[in-house]
Amino acid sequence: MKINLITDAPKHNLAIMKISTWHKAQGNEITFNMPIMPCDYSYASVLFAKNKMKYNADEYGGPAFCAAFLPTEIEKQKPDYSLFPIDYSLGYTFRPCFRTCGFCKVPSMNNPDTEHHSIWEFHNPLFKKICLLNNNTFFDKRWKETFVEIWDAGLTVIDENGYDLRLMDEEKSDALKRTKFQGKIHYAWDCMQDEQKVLAGLRIAPRGHVYVLIGYDTTEAEDLYRCQKIIDFGHDPYVMPYNQSRAEKRFKRFIDSFMWRKYKTIEEAFSNYV
């Protein structure tokens, strides 16, 4: 059989990579991102909702289709790393995030997998880097095992989703400091109601980028306040506009410009931003 795999994911797509491995093991021929090629069966894994109707396929899945899951026999496969030009392993050691944030798609996806997984279920030992797709690593009661496996293998971590400051403690902070990351570590401060827990986490977390969601349920004054606190603790804010309004985009440009470094406070800098 000839199987065609299609995705709009720009860097990698774990589901497509596992489907490829499974079909190759059955002796099937794989074509990738060639939607007009004749085939016996096709899969489309769609990341962006705007592309839901873009592809003709026999089977659809991906984040654009919230309740789409791989069959168990395919989910257990190692990814086919030949599909994408990447130099890192890719997978989950823990899928769930037990938060119920209204702006996030993860709760609506309701993935049934709540188990801890070893990196060796998906890691290719030819790679010296590993990309964890975990939605919230620190919700995993066995999170330390993941870091120990990474240390023992001498791997560099590519941080896709970041680490929950509300769950930060000295042990977790020490584990992050011991781990080699590609680029800065990512955290987030989305809502003002989390202020005390986030600030406690910022005090002890190793330096990193902090995602700042704006336009969801905070005011501009609260956005300035959060950015100031993040900077005060030695981290860098990274603004994420929720509505993509002109005002939100302007605020993001202001933070991204780093012109605020010339001023004593973020508020003073913003009042002088043109």
Number of domains in the chain: 3
Q: How many CB atoms lie within 10 A of CB 95?
A: 21
Cα dihedral sign, 5-7-9-10: positive
Q: Does any domain span residue 171?
A: no
Question: Any idea what the Cα angle at residue 80 is, between residues 43 and 20, rounded to 5°?
Answer: 25
Confidence (pLDDT) at 110: 66
End-to-end CA distance of the chain: 60
Q: Does any domain span residue 172?
A: no
Confidence (pLDDT) at 80: 98
**Which tokens in the block code for residue 117?**
């997984």
Q: Does any domain span residue 108?
A: yes
Q: Does any domain span residue 102?
A: yes
Query: Are residues 265 and 198 both part of a single domain?
Result: yes
Query: Are residues 152 and 197 both part of a single domain?
Result: no
CA dihedral 26, 2, 5, 109 (to 10 degrees): -50
Q: Does any domain span residue 82?
A: no
Confidence (pLDDT) at 67: 66
Domain housing 215: 184-274
Query: Are residues 18 and 73 both part of a single domain?
Result: yes
Q: Does any domain span residue 173?
A: no
Q: Which long-range contacts (CB under 8 A, 24 or more apart) does 27-34 make?
A: 28/1, 28/2, 28/3, 29/1, 29/2, 29/3, 30/3, 30/4, 30/5, 30/80, 31/2, 31/3, 31/4, 31/5, 32/4, 32/5, 32/6, 32/83, 33/5, 33/6, 33/7, 34/4
Tokens 């990474």 sit on residue: 150
Q: Model pTM?
A: 0.91
As a whole number of angstroms, the distance between CA 52 and CA 40 comes to 21
Query: Are residues 91 and 155 both part of a single domain?
Result: yes
* Spatial contact of 210 and 234, defined as CB atoms under 8 Å apart: no
Query: Are residues 232 and 269 both part of a single domain?
Result: yes
Q: Does any domain span residue 168?
A: no
Confidence (pLDDT) at 1: 94
Query: Are residues 191 and 258 both part of a single domain?
Result: yes
CA atoms within 13 A on the CB side of 146: 29
Query: Are residues 70 and 91 both part of a single domain?
Result: no
End-of-domain residue from the set 23, 55, 77: 77
Among the listed residues 67, 57, 66, the one whose alpha carbon sits nearest the alpha carbon of residue 16: 57
Q: Is 234 left (phi over 0), alpha (psi -120 to 50) or beta?
A: left
Query: Are residues 44 and 97 both part of a single domain?
Result: no
Per-residue pLDDT of the chain (274 residues; tens, 9 = 90+): 999 999 999 999 999 999 999 999 999 999 998 877 789 999 999 988 899 888 889 999 988 887 678 999 999 999 999 999 999 999 999 999 888 777 877 766 767 788 999 999 999 999 999 999 999 999 999 999 999 999 999 999 998 788 999 999 999 999 999 999 999 999 999 999 999 999 999 999 999 999 999 999 999 999 999 999 999 999 999 999 999 999 999 999 999 999 999 999 999 999 999 7
End-of-domain residue from the set 45, 77, 109: 77
Q: Does any domain span residue 166?
A: no
As a whole number of angstroms, the distance between CA 221 and CA 207 comes to 24
End-of-domain residue from the set 77, 101, 131: 77
Query: Are residues 70 and 94 both part of a single domain?
Result: no
Query: Are residues 91 and 70 both part of a single domain?
Result: no
Confidence (pLDDT) at 156: 98
As a whole number of angstroms, the distance between CA 199 and CA 233 comes to 9
Query: Are residues 91 and 67 both part of a single domain?
Result: no
Query: Are residues 58 and 104 both part of a single domain?
Result: no
Helices 195-204/220-232 angle, 10° precision:
20
